[in-house]
Amino acid sequence: MRKFPLLLLALMLLMLSMPAQEPASAGIIPWDAWSDFWWNVQVEPIGDSTATVKPLGQYEFHFKFWNGGVVNGDSKVPLRYYLRITNISGEGWNAYVNPTFIYLGQGESYNATVYVTADVKPSYIANITCEIAMHVKMTDFIKYNNITFQVRSQPYRWLAVDIPTPVVDGKQERTYTVPINITNNGNYDDEYLISVPYAPSRWLYALSEQRVHLFPGESAQVNLTFHIPHERFYIQYENYLMKVKIQSANDPSSYVTRPIVVSLHGFHLTIGQLAAVASIMPSFVLLAALGASFYYLNNECRQIPKPWKEEELPEKNRREVKKLMREEWKSAIYFCKGEKERIKRLNYLFARKESRQRALERKILGEWKKAWVIPHQEWEKQCREIREEYEAYRRKILTMWRDANEKIKKANHNFGSSIPLIPRPEMPPLKLIPEPGKLPKPRIPKYEVDVKRMRIIEPDKLLLERILMPLKRGKSIAKMESDKIRRMGDARKEKIRLAFIALEKKMEAEIARATSKIMAEKTRHQRSRALSEQRRRAEEAKKRERQRIEEEKKRLRERMMEEERRKRERAAMGREELKAGKRRSKFK
């Protein structure tokens, strides 16, 4: 309320400063214009108002809005703000504002956010307009303001390639055309290169266009024409592959490769091959005719001699006789054919009889082998295991014997002893279990051929039963025999084990006696070495004492000789002094 007089004063000064109006246009100032002085919406962006967005990307614009009129500060008039997006000038763009409604005081401001989202294929540029409507409470005033943001789609390349007929059912030496539809789904124009990086060898191909320039959303059709050469005379079913590559000229890393599959099957002849076949076909026909003629002439049934003797008859009677005898000649031909069929049938029966005879032999001999092979295999297995265990025990005993003798020899060499060597152990005899006997080889019945009835005579079934019955019983007997052999083998292995255990204990006792002798010799040798060492040390001590005494004597002699030398020197010096004194006394 203290500011109210100041507001009235400012209003009066404003009215005085306004220019005078013409009489014709004189009138009262509208209240809406006056209200803009009191209340108006101010908007300013926070940061950039333009942005670049990727397809399927999102961006946020921030802006600030407040009341820019003179009624602010401590005014108690509440304000309501409504925000909404009024316009999006572009396709593929979505936007919304947050918040959409808020209460603010006269002097308060608020930061709002516009969220923009791009679709898969947005337009290159779009303007997004946000409207802020301010409602003044207790009045009818609504003040508006707008803010516009601009978004651009980030440049992207999107190439779509469609081949309506990617699979071609082709024929050899034919020409085919395959359409290729190219669409630029990017957001700016681009140039594309069309090539065929892979094609079967010797295939000829051509493209209607090798370079295509397309604007965004534009499509073009390129035709691939190829010629299939002759591959083979016959192709059961085979697929051939061709690859088409569409690449952006501005961005080599943006390309699409599509396959085209060509299926070939069936027979095919080239013109030269057809001409060759046509030229040699008469020769084949002639050869076939000659073969048929030779077969007819070499057929035994066609070379049967006539069963009559032709007499020299008149022409009239000769024809009648030939007509009568022709039937007999035909019956001979039919008999020959029947005889050939009978011989062929007999050969088949004999071959069948031999095959069935071999099968019967395999069956009976197989049963016979099963009756004795199982115990024989068990016998071989037990004998092998007995030998292996015997050899293992034998190697162990011999190794113990050799090691013990090596130790004795080494002790005799080192200690100078004469310990006797352990004699070679006498191994227990190797006894294998007796080989089981074999069943007598059975008699095999024979198949026969009844030439008259043209059939195979099988052996008597009762005879077969009598032959196979003991063999089948022999299978169960073979299992019992196999168990018996296994038990015998286990018993034999146990005897060998006990025999070698006794031999091993004997060897261990002999080795223990030899070891005790070696230890005694070692102790004796160590004692003798200790005495020898003591004697050696005593001798060395005596020798060192003698050397010390000799050195003392030597030093004493040297000292005495030194004293004697000094005495002689002093005596000589005394004599010299006496002589010198005498000479001085003479001169005086």
What pLDDT score was predicted for residue 64? Answer: 92
Distances (CA, A) of 169 to 125, 205, 228, 385: 47, 17, 11, 71
Residues 84 and 175 in one domain: no
Alpha-carbon distance values, 273 to 418, 424, 475 (Å): 105, 92, 69
Q: Is 60 helix (H, G, I), strand (E, B) or coil?
A: strand
CATH number at residue 246: 2.60.40.10
**Residue 280 included in any domain:** no
Name the residue among 154, 149, 155, 156 with its Cα closest to residue 88: 149
CATH number at 42 reads 2.60.40.2310
185: in domain? yes
Same domain, 84 and 166: no
What is the domain range of residue 215? Answer: 159-267
Q: Which of 267, 297, 317 is the last residue of a domain?
A: 267
State whether 125 and 188 are in the same domain.
no
Determine the pLDDT at residue 23: 41
Do 300 and 340 form a contact (C-beta atoms < 8 A)?
yes
Whether 523 is in a domain gets the answer: yes
Domain-located, residue 14: no
Q: Using the structure block, give the residue that is written with the tokens 């007796």.
A: 434
Same domain, 51 and 144: yes
User: Exposed (0-12), middle (13-18) or buried (19+): which is 567, by Cβ within 10 Å?
Assistant: exposed
- Asked if the structure places residue 304 within a domain, the reply is no
Residues 92 and 119 in one domain: yes
Residue 559: inside a domain, yes or no?
Answer: no
Domain boundary among 232, 250, 267: 267
Burial of 126 (0-12, 13-18, 19+ CB in 10 A): buried
Which of 131, 153, 175 finishes a domain?
153
Q: Within this chain, do residues 40 and 63 fall inside the same structural domain, yes or no?
A: yes
Tokens of 100: 């959409």
Same domain, 196 and 118: no
- Token pair belonging to 389: 């265990």
Beta-bridge mates of residue 61: 114
**Beta carbons within 10 angstroms of residue 373's beta carbon:** 13
Position 171, amino acid: K
CB 67 within 8 A of CB 169: no
46, 142: one domain: yes
Task: Please give the Cα distance from 208 to 179 (Å, whole number).
Answer: 10
Nearest CA among 363, 369, 345, 347 for reference residue 459: 363
424 and 526 housed in the same domain: yes
- Spell out the per-residue pLDDT of the chain, length 588, in tens: 455 556 566 666 555 555 544 443 433 444 455 566 667 888 999 988 899 888 888 999 999 998 877 655 455 667 888 999 999 988 889 999 999 998 887 778 889 999 999 988 888 889 999 999 988 766 667 888 999 999 988 877 778 899 998 999 988 889 999 999 999 887 778 889 999 999 999 999 999 998 998 888 788 999 999 999 988 888 888 899 999 999 988 888 888 999 999 999 888 888 877 888 788 888 888 888 888 888 777 766 666 665 556 566 666 676 776 777 777 777 777 777 778 888 888 888 899 989 988 988 888 887 777 777 788 888 889 999 999 999 999 999 999 999 988 988 888 888 888 888 888 888 888 888 888 877 677 788 888 888 888 888 888 888 877 877 777 776 777 788 888 888 998 999 999 999 999 999 998 899 888 888 888 888 888 888 888 889 889 899 999 999 989 999 888 888 889 988 888 888 888 888 888 877 777 665
Asked if residue 10 belongs to a domain, the reply is no
147 and 170 within one domain:
no
* Same domain, residue pair 486 and 431: yes
The residues with which 435 forms a beta bridge, in sequence order, are none
Residue 178 shares a structural domain with residue 138? no
Domain assignment of residue 15, yes or no: no
Question: What is the pLDDT, as a whole number, of residue 76?
Answer: 63
Domain tally, the chain: 3
